[in-house]
Amino acid sequence: MCGRFALKAPPADIARQFGVDAVPELAPRYNIAPTQDILIIRHPWREPEARLEAAQVKWGLLPSWAKDTSMAAKLANARGETVAEKPAFRSAFRRMRCLIPADGFYECWQGPCGGPLETATIITTDANALVRPVHDRMPVILPPADWAAWLGAQTKADDLKALLKPLPADLMERYRVSRRMSNARNEGADCMAPYSGD
What amino acid positions are annotated as catalytic residues?
Answer: 2, 107
- Closest CA relative to residue 127, chosen from 139, 112, 137, 141: 137
Which alpha helices (DSSP H) does the chain contain, by range? 11-18, 90-95, 147-151, 157-162
Calpha distance 52→69 (Å, rounded): 27
Other C-beta atoms lying within 10 Å of the C-beta of residue 163: 18
The DSSP letter of residue 119 is E
* Terminal C-alpha separation, the chain: 24
Calpha distance 169→189 (Å, rounded): 24
